[in-house]
Structure 1
Amino acid sequence: MKLLLLLLLLTFLLSHETRADEIIGGKESRPHSRPYMAFLSIKRNKSWYSCGGFLIRRDFVMTAAHCAGDSIRVILGAHNITNSERTWQDINVKRQIHHPKYNEQNLLNDIMLLKLEKKASLTEAVTILPLGSRSNSISPGQECLAVGWGWTGPRGPPSDTLQEVELTVMNRSDCKVFRNFDARSQLCVGNPNSWKSVFFGDSGGPLVCSGVAQGIASYAMLNAKPPSGFTRIAHYRSWINKILKAN
């Protein structure tokens, strides 16, 4: 039986090797061409982890609920996460708001909003990514883009530079390998004929389809082969709008 894994990565941010390898089946992004991306440095139980996320309002970042921690630091405007640039905006998270029905056992409702301590300044390297809605839903066969600093192969290491990979939205039946897959609230993504996938460390990053965030990287196969599961953003728009309106 194939095992699942969270895409969360235990990362020693100051010590991992510098590599220019590609995300699994992908390539390095052109620097600052995905200006909505956020790198999350997460402290949990005296250990450091990393996740991806994306800016949806000047003071809010969206990510996966399993990326929660005791404290989170957000870096916007980054490309090489080991090389600080003038484009960087380093902001602490004031409040972590995960979906009230998030289930850490089966990863249902794996979505979280991060309220930043201060508003980000919008620049060429830092912009907001629009969110998908029920009116612009996606269909199987559509090509989308996943982005992150995760592992570049089944045995690692994580990438210092932002990577991206084109993935295909698949039929719900293609994700029957995942016992708890829920087609209403999740997207089945990948390509059975191509070894392309998100993996460790890519959690919380967006699935961008036609310039709109439609999914959040949630889980994948332990062998890094497709398919992978993404939280379906359109399913949560009412909850998202409620949180943003209240803050």
Structure 2
Amino acid sequence: MQLLLLLLAFSLLHKTRAGEIIGGHEAKPHSRPYMAFIRFWYASICTRCGGILIHEKFVLTAAHCLNRGTIVFLGAHNITKQEKTQQLIRVQRRIPHPQFSLENSRNDIMLLQLEKKAKLNKAVQILQLRKGQTQVMPGAICQVAGWGMLDKEGPIADTLQEVEMTVQNDKECQNRWPKYDSAIHICAGDPKIKKNSFKGDSGGPFICNKVLQAIINSGRKSGKTPRAFTKLSPYLDWIEKTIKHLLLQEANEAPTLSNHYSWA
């Protein structure tokens, strides 16, 4: 059954609403083993998001990726091939932030509880979250990654793409995006340089100095920079408490089940 689902997902690849990394390059295969490729149905359209494996049974992504029929691919590089490293896992439960608002893109963050544990190996690894707040200053060079179009009107990439983006002053986003809130957003992307993430990359990582600082949200429809990313630090307590609650609930239902979760 799992193989049939995998083949179906691949057959729908070029019918999907694509994600997008603009101005980037192909990542070294499995150099980001925490990356998750998320496929789900939106109305009658099969579409995609990115995600980050933060626990053997939990993936972090954007809340606007909330839809039924969600499948997570771990250990993937080329999503058009049945790579031996790939693990296909169904989603058991979707947990969007309780204050998520689709209208203004606030609290655009969600946890996906997987039906079974990910098998950790060289191609599949947990990205540990840093406790406490860390400040990212304007001028910092950060990276985003995802699968999707190589340009706004271009083809869909088969392989994981990555691109560097420069953190901007909050005012740069406030002047262009009225929904921007410095308390929960990070502003990034030099408007003079064509480097960006775009729709479909939502839920993917925004990493600065090897630390996950934010996730990609829905962004601006034009795809222009600078743009806002959902800052991670305001949600660390919610993430930790939600995971602990669900693991405890699961343990009570199946006392022999053991889980592992660690914070850096």
User: Hey, what does 1:219 align to over in structure 2?
Assistant: 218
- One-letter amino acid of the counterpart of residue 132, structure 2: R
Measured after TM superposition, the shift of residue 136 of structure 1 is 2.6
Contact in 1 for aligned 2:38/2:70 (Cα 8 Å): yes
Unaligned runs of 5+ residues in structure 1 are 1-10
- One-letter amino acid of the counterpart of residue 131, structure 1: L
Residues 46-101 of structure 1 deviation map (CA, whole Å, 9 limit, x = unaligned): 32110000100110000000001012100000001001111001000000000000
Measured after TM superposition, the shift of residue 158 of structure 1 is 2.3
Measured after TM superposition, the shift of residue 16 of structure 1 is 1.8
User: Hey, what does 1:6 align to over in structure 2?
Assistant: none
Structure exhibiting the larger radius of gyration computed from Cα positions:
2
Distance (whole Å) between structure 1 residues aligned to residue 13 and residue 214 of structure 2: 31
Measured after TM superposition, the shift of residue 225 of structure 1 is 2.2
Unaligned runs of 5+ residues in structure 2 are 1-8, 247-264
Measured after TM superposition, the shift of residue 157 of structure 1 is 2.7
Structure 2 CA distance for partners of 1:223 and 1:63, relative to 1, 3 Å: same
User: Hey, what does 1:131 align to over in structure 2?
Assistant: 129
Distance (whole Å) between structure 1 residues aligned to residue 105 and residue 70 of structure 2: 20
Q: TM-score, normalised by structure 1?
A: 0.89
Measured after TM superposition, the shift of residue 128 of structure 1 is 0.9
Distance (whole Å) between structure 1 residues aligned to residue 165 and residue 42 of structure 2: 31
Distance (whole Å) between structure 2 residues aligned to residue 13 and residue 157 of structure 1: 16
SS at match of 1:198: strand
Greater per-residue strand proportion: 1
Contact in 2 for aligned 1:221/1:227 (Cα 8 Å): no
Q: TM-score, normalised by structure 2?
A: 0.84
SS at match of 2:172: helix
Sequence identity percentage: 47
Distance (whole Å) between structure 1 residues aligned to residue 43 and residue 194 of structure 2: 34
| Greater Cα offset, 189-198 or 67-76 | 189-198
Structure 2 CA distance for partners of 1:134 and 1:170, relative to 1, 3 Å: farther
Number of corresponding residues: 233
- One-letter amino acid of the counterpart of residue 68, structure 1: L
Residues 211-241 of structure 1 deviation map (CA, whole Å, 9 limit, x = unaligned): 1211110133333221121110001111111
Residues 82-137 of structure 1 deviation map (CA, whole Å, 9 limit, x = unaligned): 01111001000000000000000010000000000001011100011122443433
- One-letter amino acid of the counterpart of residue 226, structure 1: T
For the aligned residue pairs, the C-alpha RMSD in angstroms reads 1.8
User: Hey, what does 1:73 align to over in structure 2?
Assistant: 71
SS at match of 1:136: coil
Distance (whole Å) between structure 2 residues aligned to residue 222 and residue 108 of structure 1: 16
Contact in 2 for aligned 1:12/1:48 (Cα 8 Å): no
